[in-house]
């Protein structure tokens, strides 16, 4: 038994249907993909990978990179994908922390990264099918296909490092059962079937592109068009061949900026999903007006897989992340005491279920403080339930601003600012202040060629927000800093503007 292999990869063996489609039209059948992954698994075993060993990979997005995920599952290994943008220093930390048996890198970076490999065996894999691992997995060459290693639902399948906005990046230990239960819940909820073709433009080192997108396609026997990265024009060109897309909010704002986004261009699509960062209600409304599609927003995190989703059939509420997934319990509590709060009250979002990870790699104390005694995981997100049970995410606990002893939820302020004329979007942060402790500061991006006057922005909030929530300063920026998953980097903004009120 190897639950992930049996449910996700085994059904591909012998399948003549396309599983992966390149943007240029080349196709890889399920059978070819499975055979490639199985031979890679053999190569990993030859390189010393035993069940439970870590396989780290810092490779470009490609069909072979996905086959390597399959190979790790077949070898019974713990897959550790790493963002290609990580620097050598960052990689050194992950390798030292995780102690992988094998480290797979792009051939062009092999020389630079070899000194960091330590006791890990270095293999190479390029996006164009080159590299030592690709050679070992070539038809007729090297090791025979390996039989899948025996694994159980509680065995680790992946180690995903969190983006580490506070303190050291932590390795989230995800079990086979975590990944499979979530894929099953989402596939059912979103109506995926073998007839679906998923437009895949997300990175595959993150839970969204690797697990949410890929595992659903694998589980339901559908196909994926594998784009190396998101590009609005290219996505629009490919949409007539696709039925669904999963994206971060930035995909949708970029599509809206493209004149080619029309009802006709999206007529073949049945579903657009958004997650990993908040989707503005205006983006939802604008996309619906242009295409007729209501983007389905869901919420989750590396440690928990997906937690809530708007419904496929029924009301997809803009500005909310929907209802708890089947089998997943979600509650909102007083962050300090853990006591459950009434519906409508903002507090800490906590989650329990088969989706929730097994803890942080070699950090028992961090793990212990992240869970309540009754097994609920403390997400660090602040939210509230509406009267119909839809969850609204109000922000991260660390983004909460306490100004003059009063709590200010940045999202509430951002929503009001975003409605002002001439404003495209905003990010509200807390900055040290000699009198208030923290002062509310709004970083605001103008819409198009609008010229924003900070004083006018503040004046525009008069009567719309309580005085203590109004920004003490407005900073006009050309863009908000975002990471590759579309998350606004508030820590960077706080750092850039920490001296605004003379305190450091």
Give the footprint of ligand AMP on residues 421-480 (CB under 6 A): none
Stretch that binds ligand AMP, among 16-24, 87-95, 138-146, 269-277 (CB under 6 A): 269-277
Judged by CB under 6 A, does residue 381 bind ligand AMP?
A: yes
Minimum distance, C-beta of residue 393 to ligand AMP, in the bound complex (Å): 4
- DSSP strand pairing (197-200 vs 244-247): parallel
Window of 5-13, 196-204, 274-282, 339-347 that interacts with ligand AMP by CB under 6 A: 274-282
Cβ atoms 13, 41 nearer than 8 A: no
d(CA 287, CA 284): 5
Q: Cβ closer to ligand AMP: 396 or 424?
A: 396
Measured CA to CA, the distance from residue 215 to residue 201 in angstroms comes to 15
Is there binding between residue 278 and ligand AMP (CB under 6 A)? yes
Q: What are phi and psi of 414, to 5 degrees?
A: -60, -40
- Judged by CB under 6 A, which of 68, 179, 330, 393 binds ligand AMP? 393
DSSP string, 10-56: GGGTT--SEEEE-TTS-EEEHHHHHHHHHHHHHHHHHTT--TT-EEE
Three-state SS string across 131-186, please? Answer: CHHHHHCCCCCCCCCCCCCCCCCCCEEEEEECCCCCCCCCEEEEEHHHHHHHHHHH
Residues 147-166 that bind ligand AMP (CB under 6 A): 162-163
Number of residues that bind ligand AMP (CB under 6 A): 17
Residue 425 CB, nearest distance to ligand AMP (Å)?
14
User: From the list 301, 394, 413, 440, which residue makes contact with ligand AMP (rule: CB under 6 A)?
Assistant: 301
Residue 174 binds ligand AMP (CB under 6 A): no
254: contact with ligand AMP by CB under 6 A: no
Centroid of chain to Cα 64: 21
| CA dihedral of residues 162, 74, 23, 479 (deg, nearest 10) | 0
Beta pairing class for 18-21 and 27-29: antiparallel
- Written as six digits, the tokens of 136 are 């070992």
Q: Of the candidates 275, 359, 460, 486, which one interacts with ligand AMP according to CB under 6 A?
A: 275
Stretch that binds ligand AMP, among 31-39, 127-135, 137-145, 276-284 (CB under 6 A): 276-284
One character per residue 469-488, x = contact with ligand AMP (rule: CB under 6 A): ----------------x---
Give the one residue of 94, 299, 357, 409 binding ligand AMP; rule: CB under 6 A.
299
Residue 64 or 303 having the CB closest to ligand AMP: 303
* Rounded Cα distance, 366 and 131, in Å: 38
Classify 118 as helix, strand or coil.
coil
Closest approach of ligand AMP to the CB of residue 300, in Å: 6
Stretch that binds ligand AMP, among 83-91, 95-103, 299-307, 451-459 (CB under 6 A): 299-307
Kindly calculate the radius of gyration of the chain based on its CA atoms and give it in whole angstroms: 23
Binding of residue 379 to ligand AMP (CB under 6 A): yes
> Coil, strand or helix: which one is 461?
helix
Q: Taking CB under 6 A as the rule, does residue 169 contact ligand AMP?
A: no
Rounded Cα distance, 31 and 27, in Å: 11
Q: How many residues does the chain have?
A: 504
* Residue 297 makes contact with ligand AMP by CB under 6 A: yes
Pairing of strands 391-396, 377-385: antiparallel
Stretch that binds ligand AMP, among 12-20, 56-64, 174-182, 298-306 (CB under 6 A): 298-306
201 lies in the site for ligand AMP, by CB under 6 A:
no
162/503 with CB nearer ligand AMP: 162
Chain position carrying tokens 């924003």? 452
225 three-class SS: strand
Q: Does 399 bind ligand AMP (CB under 6 A)?
A: no
- Shortest Å distance, C-beta 394 to ligand AMP: 9
213 binds ligand AMP (CB under 6 A): no
Comparing CB distances to ligand AMP, the nearer of 126 and 383 is 383
In whole angstroms, give the CA distance from residue 25 to residue 50: 37
CB of 285 to ligand AMP, least distance (A): 16
- The string of DSSP codes covering 241-309 is G-SEEEE-HHHHHHHHHSTT--TTTTTT--EEEE-SSPPPHHHHHHHHHHHS---EEEEEETTTEEEEE
Least distance to ligand AMP from the beta carbon of 366, Å?
15
Instruction: Choose one: 103-111, 297-305, 335-343, 413-421; the region binding ligand AMP (CB under 6 A).
Output: 297-305
Query: Does residue 302 touch ligand AMP according to CB under 6 A?
Result: yes
**CB closer to ligand AMP out of 40 and 328:** 328
214 binds ligand AMP per the rule CB under 6 A: no
Sole binder of ligand AMP in the list 2, 181, 182, 207 (CB under 6 A):
207
Give residues in contact with ligand AMP (CB under 6 A): 162-163, 207, 275-278, 297, 299, 301-302, 321, 379, 381, 393, 396, 485
């Amino acid at each position: 038994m190897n639950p992930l292999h049996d449910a996700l990869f085994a059904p591909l063996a012998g399948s003549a249907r396309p599983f992966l489609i390149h943007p240029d039209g080349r196709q890889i059948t399920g059978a070819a993909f499975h055979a490639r992954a199985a031979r890679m698994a053999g190569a990993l075993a030859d390189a010393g990978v035993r069940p439970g060993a870590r396989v780290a990979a810092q490779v470009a997005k490609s069909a072979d990179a996905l086959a390597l995920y399959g190979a790790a599952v077949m070898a019974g290994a713990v897959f550790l994908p790493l963002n290609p943008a990580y620097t050598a220093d960052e990689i050194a930390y992950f390798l030292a922390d995780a102690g992988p048996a094998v480290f797979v890198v792009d051939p062009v970076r092999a020389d630079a990264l070899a000194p960091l490999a330590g006791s890990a065996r270095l293999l190479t894999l390029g996006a164009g099918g080159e590299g030592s691992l690709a050679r070992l997995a070539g038809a007729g060459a090297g090791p025979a296909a390996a039989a899948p290693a025996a694994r159980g639902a509680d065995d680790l399948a992946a180690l995903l490092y969190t983006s580490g906005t506070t303190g050291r990046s932590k390795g989230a230990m995800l079990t086979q059962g975590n990944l499979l239960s979530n894929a099953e819940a989402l596939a059912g909820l979103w109506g995926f079937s073998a007839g679906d073709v998923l437009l895949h433009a997300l990175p595959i080192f993150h839970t969204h592109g690797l697990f949410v997108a890929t595992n659903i396609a694998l589980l339901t026997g559908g196909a994926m068009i594998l784009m190396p990265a998101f590009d609005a024009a290219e996505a629009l060109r490919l949409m007539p061949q696709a039925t669904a897309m999963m994206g971060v909010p930035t995909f949708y704002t970029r599509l809206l900026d493209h004149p080619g986004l029309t009802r006709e261009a999206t007529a073949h699509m049945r579903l657009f999903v958004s997650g990993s960062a908040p989707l503005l209600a205006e983006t939802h409304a604008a996309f619906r007006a242009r295409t007729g599609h209501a983007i389905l927003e869901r919420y989750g995190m590396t440690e928990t897989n997906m937690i809530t989703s708007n419904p496929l059939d029924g009301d997809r509420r803009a500005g909310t992340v929907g209802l708890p997934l089947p089998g997943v319990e979600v509650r909102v509590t007083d962050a300090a005491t853990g006591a459950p709060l009434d519906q409508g009250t903002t507090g800490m979002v906590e989650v329990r279920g088969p989706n929730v990870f097994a803890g942080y790699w070699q950090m028992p104390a961090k793990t212990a403080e992240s869970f309540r005694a009754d097994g609920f995981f403390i997400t660090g997100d602040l939210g509230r339930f509406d009267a119909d049970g839809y969850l609204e995410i109000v922000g991260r606990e660390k983004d909460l601003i306490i100004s003059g002893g009063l709590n200010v939820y940045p999202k509430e302020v951002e929503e009001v600012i975003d409605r002002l004329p001439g404003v495209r979007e905003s990010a509200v942060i807390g900055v040290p202040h000699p009198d208030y402790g923290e002062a509310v500061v709004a970083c605001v991006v103008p819409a198009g060629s609008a010229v924003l006057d900070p004083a006018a922005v503040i004046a525009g909030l008069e009567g719309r927000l309580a005085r203590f929530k109004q920004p003490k300063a407005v900073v006009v920026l050309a863009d908000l800093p975002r990471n590759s998953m579309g998350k606004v980097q508030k820590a960077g903004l706080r750092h850039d503007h920490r001296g605004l009120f003379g305190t450091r």
